[in-house]
Amino acid sequence: MNIIVIGGGPGGYVAAIRAAQLGAAVTLVEKQHLGGTCLNVGCIPTKCLLHSAELLEDIRRQGAEIGVKVTGAEVDFPQVIRHKNDISKKLTGGVAGLLRMNKVKVVDGEAAFTGPRKLEVKKADGTKEPMTADAIIVATGSVNARPPIPGLRENPNCIDSTGALSLERLPRSMVVIGGGVIGLELACAYAAFGTKITVVEAMDHMLPMLDGDLTKVGVDHMKKMGMEFHLECPVQSVEPSPVGAKVVCKNKAGETVSFEAEKVLVAIGRKANTEALALDRGGIKHDRGRILVNERMQTNVSGVYAIGDCVAGHAQLAHTASAMGEVAAENIMGQDSVYDESTNPTCVYIEPEAASVGLTEEQCKEKGIAYKVGKFPMSANGKALILNGGEGLVKIIAGAKYGEVLGMHIIGPRATDLIAEGALAIRLEATLDELITTIHSHPTVTETMREAALHAEKRAIHTANR
Ligand code: FAD
Protein backbone atom coordinates (compact mmCIF):
# COMPACT_ATOMS: atom_id res chain seq x y z
CA MET A 1 0.00 0.00 0.00
CA ASN A 2 1.42 3.43 -1.02
CA ILE A 3 0.33 6.43 1.04
CA ILE A 4 1.06 10.14 0.62
CA VAL A 5 0.65 12.34 3.68
CA ILE A 6 0.42 16.09 3.02
CA GLY A 7 1.75 18.06 6.00
CA GLY A 8 4.25 17.14 8.72
CA GLY A 9 2.49 18.52 11.82
CA PRO A 10 1.29 16.39 14.76
CA GLY A 11 -1.49 15.04 12.54
CA GLY A 12 0.64 14.23 9.49
CA TYR A 13 3.81 12.86 11.07
CA VAL A 14 1.87 10.63 13.48
CA ALA A 15 -0.30 9.31 10.62
CA ALA A 16 2.84 8.63 8.56
CA ILE A 17 4.53 6.70 11.37
CA ARG A 18 1.40 4.67 12.21
CA ALA A 19 0.89 3.76 8.54
CA ALA A 20 4.56 2.76 8.20
CA GLN A 21 4.28 0.59 11.34
CA LEU A 22 1.39 -1.23 9.66
CA GLY A 23 3.47 -1.92 6.55
CA ALA A 24 2.68 0.97 4.18
CA ALA A 25 5.26 2.69 1.94
CA VAL A 26 4.78 6.29 3.07
CA THR A 27 5.81 9.60 1.50
CA LEU A 28 5.30 12.75 3.57
CA VAL A 29 5.22 16.10 1.74
CA GLU A 30 5.97 19.15 3.90
CA LYS A 31 6.24 22.67 2.54
CA GLN A 32 7.80 24.46 5.51
CA HIS A 33 8.93 22.67 8.65
CA LEU A 34 8.41 19.24 10.21
CA GLY A 35 6.45 19.44 13.45
CA GLY A 36 3.96 21.89 11.89
CA THR A 37 2.32 24.65 13.88
CA CYS A 38 2.52 22.72 17.16
CA LEU A 39 6.28 22.33 17.45
CA ASN A 40 7.35 25.49 15.59
CA VAL A 41 4.85 28.27 16.33
CA GLY A 42 2.14 26.78 18.54
CA CYS A 43 1.86 24.50 21.57
CA ILE A 44 5.51 24.03 22.45
CA PRO A 45 6.79 27.60 21.87
CA THR A 46 3.91 29.11 23.88
CA LYS A 47 4.48 26.69 26.74
CA CYS A 48 8.19 27.61 26.74
CA LEU A 49 7.29 31.28 27.21
CA LEU A 50 4.71 30.37 29.83
CA HIS A 51 7.20 28.27 31.79
CA SER A 52 9.67 31.17 31.94
CA ALA A 53 6.79 33.44 32.99
CA GLU A 54 5.56 31.01 35.64
CA LEU A 55 9.01 30.71 37.21
CA LEU A 56 9.31 34.48 37.39
CA GLU A 57 5.81 34.81 38.85
CA ASP A 58 6.46 32.08 41.42
CA ILE A 59 9.62 33.83 42.60
CA ARG A 60 7.91 37.21 42.77
CA ARG A 61 4.58 36.15 44.28
CA GLN A 62 5.49 33.14 46.37
CA GLY A 63 9.28 33.19 46.78
CA ALA A 64 9.64 35.20 49.97
CA GLU A 65 6.59 33.54 51.54
CA ILE A 66 7.99 30.04 51.07
CA GLY A 67 11.45 31.05 52.20
CA VAL A 68 13.16 31.51 48.84
CA LYS A 69 14.37 35.09 48.61
CA VAL A 70 15.63 36.11 45.20
CA THR A 71 16.68 39.68 44.69
CA GLY A 72 16.72 41.16 41.22
CA ALA A 73 14.77 38.38 39.48
CA GLU A 74 14.07 39.74 36.01
CA VAL A 75 13.25 38.54 32.55
CA ASP A 76 16.03 38.20 29.96
CA PHE A 77 13.63 38.29 27.02
CA PRO A 78 16.07 37.45 24.19
CA GLN A 79 17.13 34.38 26.22
CA VAL A 80 13.46 33.38 26.67
CA ILE A 81 13.14 33.38 22.87
CA ARG A 82 16.46 31.53 22.38
CA HIS A 83 15.40 28.84 24.86
CA LYS A 84 12.08 28.48 23.04
CA ASN A 85 13.91 28.10 19.72
CA ASP A 86 16.24 25.45 21.18
CA ILE A 87 13.35 23.35 22.47
CA SER A 88 11.53 23.59 19.12
CA LYS A 89 14.69 22.57 17.28
CA LYS A 90 15.23 19.54 19.53
CA LEU A 91 11.68 18.35 19.01
CA THR A 92 11.53 18.93 15.25
CA GLY A 93 14.87 17.13 14.93
CA GLY A 94 13.30 14.29 16.90
CA VAL A 95 10.40 14.12 14.42
CA ALA A 96 12.83 13.92 11.48
CA GLY A 97 14.63 11.07 13.28
CA LEU A 98 11.40 9.17 13.98
CA LEU A 99 10.34 9.47 10.33
CA ARG A 100 13.75 8.15 9.21
CA MET A 101 13.54 5.29 11.71
CA ASN A 102 10.16 4.31 10.29
CA LYS A 103 11.45 4.61 6.69
CA VAL A 104 9.04 7.41 5.78
CA LYS A 105 10.27 9.31 2.70
CA VAL A 106 10.12 13.07 3.32
CA VAL A 107 9.72 15.41 0.33
CA ASP A 108 10.26 19.17 0.82
CA GLY A 109 7.52 20.72 -1.25
CA GLU A 110 3.99 22.04 -1.56
CA ALA A 111 1.27 19.65 -2.71
CA ALA A 112 -1.88 20.62 -4.63
CA PHE A 113 -4.63 18.49 -6.13
CA THR A 114 -4.84 18.24 -9.93
CA GLY A 115 -7.72 15.72 -9.87
CA PRO A 116 -9.33 13.12 -7.61
CA ARG A 117 -6.44 11.38 -5.76
CA LYS A 118 -3.93 13.14 -8.06
CA LEU A 119 -1.37 15.64 -6.83
CA GLU A 120 1.31 17.92 -8.13
CA VAL A 121 4.17 18.69 -5.76
CA LYS A 122 6.13 21.91 -6.21
CA LYS A 123 9.52 21.05 -4.74
CA ALA A 124 11.92 23.30 -2.88
CA ASP A 125 14.23 23.41 -5.97
CA GLY A 126 11.35 24.76 -8.10
CA THR A 127 10.65 21.53 -10.02
CA LYS A 128 7.16 20.06 -10.18
CA GLU A 129 6.31 16.39 -9.87
CA PRO A 130 2.97 14.66 -10.39
CA MET A 131 2.25 12.20 -7.58
CA THR A 132 -0.45 9.71 -6.75
CA ALA A 133 -0.90 6.88 -4.27
CA ASP A 134 -3.38 4.23 -3.13
CA ALA A 135 -4.39 6.65 -0.38
CA ILE A 136 -3.75 10.30 0.47
CA ILE A 137 -4.01 11.83 3.95
CA VAL A 138 -4.49 15.61 3.98
CA ALA A 139 -2.99 17.12 7.15
CA THR A 140 -2.29 20.71 6.13
CA GLY A 141 -3.37 22.27 9.44
CA SER A 142 -4.45 25.85 9.95
CA VAL A 143 -3.20 29.43 9.82
CA ASN A 144 -4.05 32.52 11.87
CA ALA A 145 -7.22 34.26 10.67
CA ARG A 146 -6.96 38.01 9.97
CA PRO A 147 -10.19 39.95 10.51
CA PRO A 148 -11.06 42.64 7.94
CA ILE A 149 -10.56 45.46 10.46
CA PRO A 150 -9.72 48.78 8.73
CA GLY A 151 -6.12 49.82 9.39
CA LEU A 152 -5.00 46.47 10.78
CA ARG A 153 -3.08 45.03 7.83
CA GLU A 154 -1.21 48.26 7.21
CA ASN A 155 0.12 48.57 10.77
CA PRO A 156 3.38 46.64 11.34
CA ASN A 157 2.74 46.67 15.10
CA CYS A 158 -0.29 44.44 14.64
CA ILE A 159 1.02 40.90 15.03
CA ASP A 160 -0.42 37.39 15.23
CA SER A 161 0.58 34.54 17.57
CA THR A 162 3.56 33.66 15.36
CA GLY A 163 4.81 37.25 15.58
CA ALA A 164 4.28 37.28 19.36
CA LEU A 165 6.53 34.23 19.67
CA SER A 166 9.51 35.83 17.99
CA LEU A 167 9.62 39.46 19.16
CA GLU A 168 13.13 40.81 19.57
CA ARG A 169 12.25 43.14 22.43
CA LEU A 170 9.75 42.94 25.28
CA PRO A 171 6.93 45.39 24.52
CA ARG A 172 5.87 47.74 27.32
CA SER A 173 2.20 47.40 26.36
CA MET A 174 0.04 45.07 24.29
CA VAL A 175 -3.63 45.07 23.29
CA VAL A 176 -4.90 41.54 22.71
CA ILE A 177 -7.85 41.27 20.33
CA GLY A 178 -9.74 38.11 21.30
CA GLY A 179 -10.26 36.40 24.66
CA GLY A 180 -9.76 32.84 23.42
CA VAL A 181 -7.11 30.33 24.44
CA ILE A 182 -4.26 31.52 22.22
CA GLY A 183 -4.73 35.21 23.04
CA LEU A 184 -4.99 34.65 26.79
CA GLU A 185 -2.07 32.21 27.04
CA LEU A 186 0.23 34.73 25.35
CA ALA A 187 -1.31 37.55 27.39
CA CYS A 188 -0.50 35.67 30.63
CA ALA A 189 3.12 35.13 29.57
CA TYR A 190 3.66 38.77 28.58
CA ALA A 191 1.84 40.07 31.68
CA ALA A 192 4.22 38.07 33.89
CA PHE A 193 7.20 39.46 31.94
CA GLY A 194 5.93 42.96 32.75
CA THR A 195 4.00 44.00 29.63
CA LYS A 196 0.81 45.97 30.35
CA ILE A 197 -1.99 43.85 28.86
CA THR A 198 -5.42 45.02 27.71
CA VAL A 199 -7.78 42.38 26.31
CA VAL A 200 -10.71 43.39 24.11
CA GLU A 201 -13.37 40.79 23.33
CA ALA A 202 -16.55 41.17 21.26
CA MET A 203 -18.52 38.55 23.23
CA ASP A 204 -19.76 38.89 26.83
CA HIS A 205 -17.45 36.15 28.12
CA MET A 206 -14.05 34.64 27.50
CA LEU A 207 -12.78 31.09 27.04
CA PRO A 208 -16.15 29.80 25.77
CA MET A 209 -14.88 26.21 25.71
CA LEU A 210 -14.54 26.08 29.51
CA ASP A 211 -17.14 25.48 32.22
CA GLY A 212 -18.26 28.88 33.61
CA ASP A 213 -16.95 28.12 37.15
CA LEU A 214 -13.45 27.57 35.75
CA THR A 215 -13.48 30.72 33.62
CA LYS A 216 -14.34 32.81 36.67
CA VAL A 217 -11.33 31.54 38.66
CA GLY A 218 -9.02 32.07 35.67
CA VAL A 219 -10.23 35.60 34.91
CA ASP A 220 -10.02 36.63 38.58
CA HIS A 221 -6.40 35.49 38.64
CA MET A 222 -5.53 37.30 35.41
CA LYS A 223 -7.04 40.49 36.83
CA LYS A 224 -4.81 40.06 39.89
CA MET A 225 -1.86 39.87 37.49
CA GLY A 226 -2.83 43.38 36.35
CA MET A 227 -4.52 42.47 33.07
CA GLU A 228 -7.40 44.66 31.96
CA PHE A 229 -10.48 43.16 30.24
CA HIS A 230 -13.08 44.86 28.07
CA LEU A 231 -15.96 42.54 27.14
CA GLU A 232 -18.68 43.25 24.57
CA CYS A 233 -16.23 45.68 23.06
CA PRO A 234 -15.88 44.87 19.33
CA VAL A 235 -12.96 46.44 17.46
CA GLN A 236 -13.96 48.98 14.80
CA SER A 237 -10.57 49.99 13.42
CA VAL A 238 -6.86 50.29 14.10
CA GLU A 239 -5.22 53.68 13.75
CA PRO A 240 -1.55 54.69 13.67
CA SER A 241 -0.17 55.95 16.98
CA PRO A 242 3.24 57.23 18.12
CA VAL A 243 3.14 54.46 20.77
CA GLY A 244 2.60 51.72 18.16
CA ALA A 245 -1.09 51.32 17.35
CA LYS A 246 -4.46 52.58 18.55
CA VAL A 247 -7.32 50.06 18.72
CA VAL A 248 -10.70 51.75 18.37
CA CYS A 249 -13.69 49.84 19.80
CA LYS A 250 -17.38 50.33 20.52
CA ASN A 251 -18.17 49.50 24.16
CA LYS A 252 -21.32 47.98 25.67
CA ALA A 253 -22.87 51.45 26.12
CA GLY A 254 -22.30 52.19 22.42
CA GLU A 255 -19.51 54.69 23.10
CA THR A 256 -16.29 54.81 21.09
CA VAL A 257 -13.30 53.89 23.23
CA SER A 258 -9.68 53.37 22.24
CA PHE A 259 -6.60 51.61 23.62
CA GLU A 260 -3.04 52.41 22.60
CA ALA A 261 -0.17 49.97 22.84
CA GLU A 262 3.25 49.18 21.39
CA LYS A 263 1.93 45.90 19.94
CA VAL A 264 -1.52 44.61 19.06
CA LEU A 265 -1.89 40.83 19.17
CA VAL A 266 -4.65 39.65 16.85
CA ALA A 267 -5.93 36.32 18.18
CA ILE A 268 -9.42 35.87 16.80
CA GLY A 269 -9.05 32.24 15.71
CA ARG A 270 -7.55 30.06 13.01
CA LYS A 271 -8.72 28.94 9.57
CA ALA A 272 -7.98 25.79 7.61
CA ASN A 273 -4.76 25.96 5.62
CA THR A 274 -6.24 24.55 2.42
CA GLU A 275 -6.18 27.47 -0.02
CA ALA A 276 -3.10 26.25 -1.90
CA LEU A 277 -4.40 22.66 -2.04
CA ALA A 278 -7.05 23.24 -4.75
CA LEU A 279 -9.59 21.03 -2.96
CA ASP A 280 -12.19 21.64 -5.67
CA ARG A 281 -9.88 20.20 -8.35
CA GLY A 282 -9.52 17.14 -6.12
CA GLY A 283 -13.33 16.91 -5.90
CA ILE A 284 -13.13 17.14 -2.09
CA LYS A 285 -16.15 18.52 -0.23
CA HIS A 286 -15.42 21.27 2.26
CA ASP A 287 -17.08 24.03 4.28
CA ARG A 288 -15.25 27.31 3.60
CA GLY A 289 -11.96 25.43 3.31
CA ARG A 290 -12.50 23.04 6.23
CA ILE A 291 -12.66 19.50 4.85
CA LEU A 292 -15.73 17.36 5.58
CA VAL A 293 -14.92 13.91 6.96
CA ASN A 294 -16.69 11.01 8.66
CA GLU A 295 -15.62 9.38 11.94
CA ARG A 296 -13.15 7.20 10.00
CA MET A 297 -11.54 10.42 8.67
CA GLN A 298 -12.66 9.63 5.09
CA THR A 299 -13.55 12.49 2.76
CA ASN A 300 -16.15 12.11 0.02
CA VAL A 301 -13.39 11.00 -2.42
CA SER A 302 -12.47 7.33 -2.17
CA GLY A 303 -8.92 6.90 -0.85
CA VAL A 304 -8.60 10.50 0.36
CA TYR A 305 -8.59 11.12 4.11
CA ALA A 306 -8.22 14.35 6.09
CA ILE A 307 -7.16 14.95 9.70
CA GLY A 308 -6.35 17.68 12.20
CA ASP A 309 -6.92 21.41 12.04
CA CYS A 310 -7.95 21.35 8.36
CA VAL A 311 -11.13 19.30 8.97
CA ALA A 312 -14.55 20.69 9.86
CA GLY A 313 -16.41 20.34 13.13
CA HIS A 314 -13.69 19.43 15.61
CA ALA A 315 -11.41 21.15 18.10
CA GLN A 316 -8.18 22.48 16.58
CA LEU A 317 -5.74 20.80 18.98
CA ALA A 318 -2.52 18.88 18.49
CA HIS A 319 -3.67 15.72 20.28
CA THR A 320 -6.90 15.78 18.24
CA ALA A 321 -4.83 15.86 15.03
CA SER A 322 -2.60 12.99 16.21
CA ALA A 323 -5.58 10.86 17.28
CA MET A 324 -7.22 11.44 13.90
CA GLY A 325 -3.92 10.59 12.17
CA GLU A 326 -3.78 7.17 13.79
CA VAL A 327 -7.44 6.54 12.91
CA ALA A 328 -6.87 7.45 9.23
CA ALA A 329 -3.72 5.31 8.94
CA GLU A 330 -5.39 2.31 10.57
CA ASN A 331 -8.46 2.48 8.34
CA ILE A 332 -6.32 2.75 5.21
CA MET A 333 -4.36 -0.30 6.36
CA GLY A 334 -7.52 -2.39 6.72
CA GLN A 335 -8.31 -1.94 10.39
CA ASP A 336 -11.62 -0.63 11.68
CA SER A 337 -10.90 2.54 13.62
CA VAL A 338 -13.10 5.48 14.56
CA TYR A 339 -12.33 8.88 16.05
CA ASP A 340 -14.06 9.28 19.43
CA GLU A 341 -14.39 12.90 20.58
CA SER A 342 -15.77 12.01 24.01
CA THR A 343 -12.33 11.51 25.58
CA ASN A 344 -10.69 14.55 23.97
CA PRO A 345 -9.48 17.01 26.64
CA THR A 346 -9.25 20.77 26.18
CA CYS A 347 -6.38 22.39 28.04
CA VAL A 348 -5.78 26.08 28.67
CA TYR A 349 -2.34 27.02 29.96
CA ILE A 350 -3.34 30.23 31.66
CA GLU A 351 -2.39 30.78 35.31
CA PRO A 352 -3.68 28.65 37.01
CA GLU A 353 -3.98 25.97 34.35
CA ALA A 354 -7.44 24.78 33.30
CA ALA A 355 -8.57 21.57 31.62
CA SER A 356 -11.84 20.04 30.66
CA VAL A 357 -13.08 16.75 29.23
CA GLY A 358 -16.56 15.44 28.46
CA LEU A 359 -19.83 17.21 29.14
CA THR A 360 -20.32 20.47 31.02
CA GLU A 361 -23.41 21.12 33.16
CA GLU A 362 -24.74 23.39 30.41
CA GLN A 363 -24.41 20.59 27.84
CA CYS A 364 -26.13 18.06 30.15
CA LYS A 365 -29.05 20.48 30.52
CA GLU A 366 -29.25 21.03 26.75
CA LYS A 367 -29.23 17.27 26.11
CA GLY A 368 -31.77 16.58 28.86
CA ILE A 369 -29.36 14.28 30.75
CA ALA A 370 -30.08 13.82 34.47
CA TYR A 371 -26.78 14.44 36.23
CA LYS A 372 -25.16 15.08 39.58
CA VAL A 373 -22.20 17.30 40.37
CA GLY A 374 -19.32 17.01 42.81
CA LYS A 375 -16.93 19.87 43.53
CA PHE A 376 -13.76 20.13 45.52
CA PRO A 377 -11.74 23.29 46.15
CA MET A 378 -7.97 23.25 45.66
CA SER A 379 -7.74 25.22 48.92
CA ALA A 380 -8.64 22.02 50.81
CA ASN A 381 -5.86 19.99 49.18
CA GLY A 382 -2.43 19.99 50.83
CA LYS A 383 -0.38 19.70 47.65
CA ALA A 384 -2.31 22.45 45.86
CA LEU A 385 -1.85 24.70 48.89
CA ILE A 386 1.90 24.09 48.70
CA LEU A 387 2.08 24.63 44.95
CA ASN A 388 -0.08 27.71 44.36
CA GLY A 389 -1.72 28.67 47.61
CA GLY A 390 -4.77 26.52 46.85
CA GLU A 391 -6.31 28.48 43.99
CA GLY A 392 -8.77 26.53 41.84
CA LEU A 393 -11.31 23.73 41.93
CA VAL A 394 -12.30 20.36 40.48
CA LYS A 395 -15.78 19.69 39.25
CA ILE A 396 -17.01 16.25 38.28
CA ILE A 397 -20.25 15.55 36.45
CA ALA A 398 -21.82 12.10 36.54
CA GLY A 399 -25.04 10.42 35.48
CA ALA A 400 -27.73 10.77 38.16
CA LYS A 401 -28.72 7.08 38.21
CA TYR A 402 -25.54 5.05 37.70
CA GLY A 403 -22.90 7.64 38.55
CA GLU A 404 -20.98 7.15 35.28
CA VAL A 405 -18.46 9.95 34.76
CA LEU A 406 -19.73 12.31 32.06
CA GLY A 407 -17.34 15.24 32.47
CA MET A 408 -14.38 16.50 34.47
CA HIS A 409 -13.42 20.17 34.75
CA ILE A 410 -10.34 21.33 36.60
CA ILE A 411 -8.63 24.64 37.28
CA GLY A 412 -5.60 24.68 39.51
CA PRO A 413 -2.02 23.46 39.64
CA ARG A 414 -1.22 20.64 37.15
CA ALA A 415 -4.80 20.65 35.79
CA THR A 416 -3.56 19.87 32.27
CA ASP A 417 -1.87 16.68 33.53
CA LEU A 418 -4.68 15.70 35.92
CA ILE A 419 -7.29 15.75 33.15
CA ALA A 420 -5.96 12.43 31.77
CA GLU A 421 -7.69 10.68 34.69
CA GLY A 422 -11.02 12.20 33.66
CA ALA A 423 -10.49 11.19 30.02
CA LEU A 424 -9.62 7.63 31.04
CA ALA A 425 -12.66 7.48 33.34
CA ILE A 426 -14.92 8.46 30.42
CA ARG A 427 -13.18 5.98 28.07
CA LEU A 428 -13.66 3.14 30.58
CA GLU A 429 -17.21 4.24 31.44
CA ALA A 430 -16.00 4.43 35.03
CA THR A 431 -18.42 5.37 37.79
CA LEU A 432 -17.98 7.68 40.76
CA ASP A 433 -17.74 4.59 42.93
CA GLU A 434 -14.83 3.27 40.84
CA LEU A 435 -12.96 6.57 41.24
CA ILE A 436 -13.68 6.54 44.96
CA THR A 437 -12.45 2.96 45.45
CA THR A 438 -9.21 3.74 43.57
CA ILE A 439 -6.61 4.83 46.11
CA HIS A 440 -5.02 8.16 45.14
CA SER A 441 -1.54 8.91 46.47
CA HIS A 442 -0.95 11.54 49.14
CA PRO A 443 0.02 14.32 49.04
CA THR A 444 -0.91 14.91 45.39
CA VAL A 445 -3.34 17.11 43.53
CA THR A 446 -4.96 13.90 42.18
CA GLU A 447 -6.70 13.53 45.55
CA THR A 448 -8.98 16.41 44.54
CA MET A 449 -10.53 14.24 41.82
CA ARG A 450 -11.43 11.47 44.24
CA GLU A 451 -12.73 14.07 46.70
CA ALA A 452 -14.91 15.62 43.99
CA ALA A 453 -16.34 12.13 43.30
CA LEU A 454 -16.99 11.69 47.02
CA HIS A 455 -18.70 15.09 47.11
CA ALA A 456 -21.01 14.09 44.23
CA GLU A 457 -22.12 11.17 46.42
CA LYS A 458 -22.51 13.49 49.44
CA ARG A 459 -19.74 11.70 51.33
CA ALA A 460 -16.82 14.11 51.02
CA ILE A 461 -14.30 13.80 53.83
CA HIS A 462 -12.36 17.05 53.46
CA THR A 463 -15.15 19.50 52.60
CA ALA A 464 -18.76 20.12 53.57
CA ASN A 465 -21.36 17.94 51.82
CA ARG A 466 -23.62 20.67 50.59
P1 FAD B 1 -0.21 21.81 11.61
O2 FAD B 1 0.50 21.58 12.88
O3 FAD B 1 -0.66 23.16 11.27
O4 FAD B 1 0.67 21.20 10.46
C5 FAD B 1 0.32 21.31 9.11
C6 FAD B 1 1.58 21.21 8.26
O7 FAD B 1 1.20 21.11 6.89
C8 FAD B 1 2.46 22.45 8.36
O9 FAD B 1 3.78 22.06 8.70
C10 FAD B 1 2.39 23.07 6.96
O11 FAD B 1 3.62 23.67 6.57
C12 FAD B 1 2.09 21.86 6.10
N13 FAD B 1 1.39 22.19 4.84
C14 FAD B 1 0.32 23.01 4.69
N15 FAD B 1 -0.08 23.02 3.41
C16 FAD B 1 0.76 22.21 2.72
C17 FAD B 1 0.84 21.80 1.37
N18 FAD B 1 -0.03 22.24 0.45
N19 FAD B 1 1.84 20.95 1.02
C20 FAD B 1 2.73 20.49 1.95
N21 FAD B 1 2.69 20.84 3.25
C22 FAD B 1 1.70 21.67 3.64
N23 FAD B 1 -2.85 22.64 20.55
C24 FAD B 1 -2.77 21.89 21.67
O25 FAD B 1 -3.24 20.75 21.66
N26 FAD B 1 -2.18 22.37 22.81
C27 FAD B 1 -1.66 23.60 22.88
O28 FAD B 1 -1.14 23.98 23.92
C29 FAD B 1 -1.72 24.44 21.73
N30 FAD B 1 -1.19 25.67 21.74
C31 FAD B 1 -1.20 26.42 20.58
C32 FAD B 1 -0.65 27.69 20.62
C33 FAD B 1 -0.64 28.48 19.47
C34 FAD B 1 -0.01 29.84 19.50
C35 FAD B 1 -1.20 27.96 18.26
C36 FAD B 1 -1.18 28.77 17.01
C37 FAD B 1 -1.77 26.69 18.23
C38 FAD B 1 -1.78 25.92 19.39
N39 FAD B 1 -2.35 24.65 19.41
C40 FAD B 1 -2.32 23.89 20.55
C41 FAD B 1 -2.99 24.08 18.20
C42 FAD B 1 -2.05 23.08 17.51
O43 FAD B 1 -0.84 23.71 17.20
C44 FAD B 1 -2.72 22.54 16.27
O45 FAD B 1 -3.99 22.02 16.62
C46 FAD B 1 -1.91 21.44 15.63
O47 FAD B 1 -0.64 21.88 15.27
C48 FAD B 1 -2.64 20.91 14.39
O49 FAD B 1 -1.90 19.90 13.82
P50 FAD B 1 -2.04 19.58 12.26
O51 FAD B 1 -1.09 18.45 11.99
O52 FAD B 1 -3.45 19.42 11.91
O53 FAD B 1 -1.56 20.92 11.52
Contact 400, 389 (CB under 8 A): no
Ligand 1 pocket member 50 (CB < 6 A): no
Residue 138 to residue 213: CA distance in whole angstroms: 38
Closest atom of ligand 1 relative to the 325 alpha carbon: 51
Choose the catalytic residue: 83, 221, 409, 442.
Answer: 442
Per-residue pLDDT, averaged over 72-81, amounts to: 96
Contact 353, 413 (CB under 8 A): yes
Per-residue pLDDT, averaged over 419-423, amounts to: 98
pLDDT at 208 over 90: no
Atom 34 (ligand 1) nearest CA = 42
Closest atom of ligand 1 relative to the 164 alpha carbon: 34
pLDDT at 212 over 90: no
Q: Print the SS3 string covering 422-458.
A: HHHHHHCCCEHHHHHCCCCCCCCCCHHHHHHHHHHCC
Ligand 1 center from residue 167 Cα (angstroms)? 20
| Residue 205 known to be catalytic | no
pLDDT at 211 over 90: no
Per DSSP, the residues of 302-317 read TTEEE-GGGBTTS---
What is the 8-class DSSP label of residue 380? G
Ligand 1 pocket member 52 (CB < 6 A): no
Q: What is the pLDDT of residues 274-322, one digit of tens each?
A: 999 999 999 999 999 999 999 999 999 999 999 999 999 999 999 999 9
Closest atom of ligand 1 relative to the 349 alpha carbon: 28
Which structural domains are found in the chain, ordered by start? 2-144+271-342 (3.50.50.60), 158-268 (3.50.50.60), 352-456 (3.30.390.30)
Instruction: Determine the pLDDT at residue 382.
Output: 98
Ligand 1 center from residue 9 Cα (angstroms)? 6
Q: 46: pLDDT confidence band, cut at 50, 70 and 90?
A: very high
In terms of pTM, does the model score above 0.95? yes
Q: What is the pLDDT of residues 24-38, one digit of tens each?
A: 999 999 999 999 999
Of 62-66, 115-119, 383-387, which range is least confident? 62-66
